Structures are given as C-alpha cells and as structure tokens.
Amino acid sequence: MSEPLGMSIDIGGELPAHLIDEFLHAFDEECVDITGPTTEPELRKEAGKKSIKWYATANYGECDDLKTFCRKHKLGYVHHVDALAECNASLTYWIPGMRSETYIQSNQDSDPVVGVNEIKPMIDFLLEYAKTGKNAIPLFVGTKGLEDIIEKCSKKPYQTHQIIKKKLNQLLPGEPKLPPFTIKE
C-alpha cells in the first residue's frame, strides 16, 4: 500500500563531484514533484551558499535511500514529513558523528511536539529546584520520567545544572545547524 505525502529535506556538507549523478538519482528513485535542484548545473549553482532544501512528494513522505546515501557520504540532513489524516508529521535529522538518526514527532511547521506527560514532571522539578535548590532532589525520588536524573543528581549534586540541561535537551530537541552544501572537485 502507498500513501504519497509531502516532505522536505535540507542537506548540508561536502559532496564529492563524482557522486553528483548518484545523489540526484536517489531523489528520482523515491521522490516526485521535486522542487529544488534536480540537475547537475542547478545543483552546482546552489552549492556553496548554505544548506540546500528540497520539497517533494514521496511514499509516506520517506526517502530512506536518499538518507542512507547522505549518512554514507557524511552529508547532514533535516527531513520533515507532512501530516495527512492518520499520518502524523515528523522530523528526523542526522549529522556526521551521530550514531543514528533522531526522530521527533512534529507539527506541520516542523516544530517538535512534546507530550505534556513527558515534560510536566521536569517543569515541576525545575520550579521546586528554583525555590529550594538541591533540597528539591529528594522530593522527586521515584517520580515517573525523572528517575534517571534524580539518581544522577543525588550522586553528583554539584553537577545538577549539567544533568538538568542534558535532560532538557533530550525532552526538547532542536534541529541541528547544517553546514553549507558544497561540491568537492
């Protein structure tokens, strides 16, 4: 079964010139109605300024072969899939150095969507921490969703700020900044 969905993919990094045809072919294999550079001259014209964004339609908005090509050749990407009926919008990204792609449920504007139940315990902890400092830590032992940070804060209270910051980055991820898309001759 197939469901054509709108998508966009923003790509940055250095593409070796001898891979241009293979790169453009990856788009043609999975995407239709492509807006963005689809020929070598168009790609060369866009290269060097910033990352390049393409819009297209694909099966369920996915372009797995293209993303695999990007990871293999160390091209970072931010991929957004539009919502439609029973399909939620999503945002995935990968930049060189990451072990795997990050998936985030998003709204139609590519803004991450975070569930209230995921973030509420952290907000409660932050408010209590602002009021009572490190005395807040024992009050949240056993709180669902905070087990890992409360344990770490209990063992290393002098690192509480860094532990909280890391957890907030997990709960509220942001898109990475991509380098310019360049072609290496």
Structural domains of the chain, ranges and CATH numbers in brackets: 4-112+174-184 (3.30.70.1270), 116-171 (no CATH)
136-157: buried (b, 16+ CB within 10 Å) or exposed (e) per residue? bbeebeeeebbeebbebbeeee
Q: Is the dihedral of CA 145, 98, 11, 25 positive or negative?
A: negative
The first and second tokens of residue 184, run together, are: 């290496």
> Which residue did the predictor score with more confidence, 184 or 117?
184
pLDDT value, residue 2 = 75
pLDDT value, residue 6 = 93
- Chain centre distance of CA 13: 16
* Distance separating alpha carbons of residues 171 and 149, to the nearest angstrom: 12
pLDDT value, residue 116 = 87
* Distance separating alpha carbons of residues 144 and 119, to the nearest angstrom: 11
Segment 13-17 shows an average pLDDT of 98
Q: Give the number of other Cβ atoms within 10 Å of residue 69's Cβ.
A: 20
Integer CA distances (angstroms), 18 to 14, 27, 100, 115, in order: 12, 16, 26, 44
Cβ burial of 39 (10 Å; 0-12, 13-18, 19+) is exposed
Integer CA distances (angstroms), 128 to 10, 47, 122, 164, 168, in order: 40, 49, 10, 13, 16
pLDDT value, residue 1 = 57
Segment 131-150 shows an average pLDDT of 92
Segment 68-90 shows an average pLDDT of 90
Nearest CA to 63 out of 103, 26, 13, 19 is that of: 26
Q: Are the CB atoms for 59 and 30 separated by under 8 Å? A: yes
How many helices (H) and strands (E) the chain has is answered by: 7, 7
How many percent of the chain have pLDDT more than 70?
A: 98
How many percent of the chain have pLDDT more than 90?
A: 71
Arithmetic mean of pLDDT over the chain: 91
